[in-house]
Amino acid sequence: MRITRETLLRIAKETAQKRAMSDRGLVAAYLTGSLLTPDPFLGGATDIDLVLVHEETPKVRREIVAVTPEIHLDIVHAARSEYNNPKELRVHPTLGPELYNPMWLYETKHFLEFVQAAVRTKFHDPANVLERARLNYEAARQVWLGMQTNPSAGTPISPDVMQQYLLSVGRAADAIAVLNGGPLAERRFLLEFPKRAEAAGKPGLAAGLLGLLGAHGVDAAALGEALPEWEKAFVDAAGRPRVHASIAAPRLAYYKLAFHSMLAGETPQAVVWPLLHTWTLAAQVLPLPKQSKWTAFCDLLGLAGEAFAERLEGLDRFLDTIEEMLEGMASSQGL
């Protein structure tokens, strides 16, 4: 089967129509994510990001549905109440950019039209742009502060602690990213961040982000050698109770093919973020003996043992730089 962007758009529209016919409580459906870009494929794989808005609170928040080994539907189920204050959504660091320009697939009573009109009003005003960035920064700083008072944030490293660290790093990077667009996509996180940092006038932050992840000290060969163990952990964790929705069997090729593509490209270190992030999510639900290869990978990146404390200090400085930059932008705009 030949898969093109047009094919995927048709599948998205058909899925929305089928769901609307089978669910009378469906208020709206829209498409977001990489499929809105000219080339959504990475390594020949992609997903179809759909948001279904329901009249009542849905029982399931996220649903992964396989289409082919390389393609899957990633469906987020939301309640209508989440959109009750559309003016506030324009400064939401995630929903604001998402609602600014999605592809409408289905709606009742002009629901999405009304929400989008409110979100787009003054969306690009400096005050609103800075507010989206500030909210990301504050979330990142709060997670970092929590790690300072958590005794388990020392040695040895654990998947739960690492996930908190990555959450802080991710929100910090998005504080820069949303100054010139939406949040960074997981697979393209390190591929896209340098462009966003440069657009924000802070190109040096790209090297800083690589340093926080330990990506400077590893080459493509070492990263490639880690993939078989990552895959074992992913397959083992998929379907386990309490596993993160991202770790689902239909998403294996989505990640795996992208990893191989990045390792063969000009910036193989870009694989570090999605590889470490998904491996950490998988390790969170695996028994301790099955976490040993994950721990070894963290050690390879300099994110385990005493070195992790140094990374936390580096994250503190990274956050300070972002705070100073946002304060300077606010001052220059008279905000």
pLDDT of res. 109: 83
Which parts of the chain are beta strand (E)? 26-32, 46-54, 62-68, 71-79, 103-107
What is the tens place of the pLDDT at every residue in 64-113? 999 999 999 999 999 999 999 988 999 999 999 999 999 999 999 888 88
Cα–Cα distance between 331 and 312 in angstroms, integer?
29
224 pLDDT band (50/70/90 cuts)?
Answer: very high
What is the tens place of the pLDDT at every residue in 204-223? 999 999 999 999 889 999 99
The closest of 217, 214, 206, 213 to 321, measured between CA atoms, is 206
Res. 117: pLDDT tops 70 = yes
Res. 57: pLDDT tops 90 = yes
pLDDT of res. 121: 95
For the record, the structure tokens of 38 come out as: 């000219």
Proportion of the chain above pLDDT 90, given as a percent: 91
150 pLDDT band (50/70/90 cuts)?
Answer: low
Mean per-residue pLDDT, 304-327: 94
Which parts of 94-164 are beta strand (E)? 103-107
Are 284 and 244 a contacting pair, CB within 8 Å?
yes
Listed by start position, the domains of the chain span: 5-120, 126-322
Proportion of the chain above pLDDT 70, given as a percent: 97
pLDDT of res. 335: 80
- CA distances to 77, 118, 300 from 62, in Å: 6, 26, 33
Give Cβ neighbours of residue 284 (< 8 Å, ≥ 6 apart).
159, 160, 163, 237, 243, 244
Residue 72 bridge partners (DSSP): 47, 66
For the record, the structure tokens of 319 come out as: 């956050």
Cα–Cα distance between 323 and 65 in angstroms, integer?
40
What is the tens place of the pLDDT at every residue in 277-296? 999 999 999 999 999 999 99
Is CATH 3.30.460.10 correct for 5-120?
yes
What is the tens place of the pLDDT at every residue in 162-188? 999 999 999 999 999 999 999 999 999
Are 35 and 9 a contacting pair, CB within 8 Å?
yes
Question: What are the DSSP calls for 206-219, one per residue?
Answer: HHHHHHHTTGGG--
In degrees and rounded to multiples of 5, residue 27 shows phi and psi of -90, -40
Residue 76 bridge partners (DSSP): 51, 62
pLDDT of res. 1: 65
Res. 154: pLDDT tops 70 = no
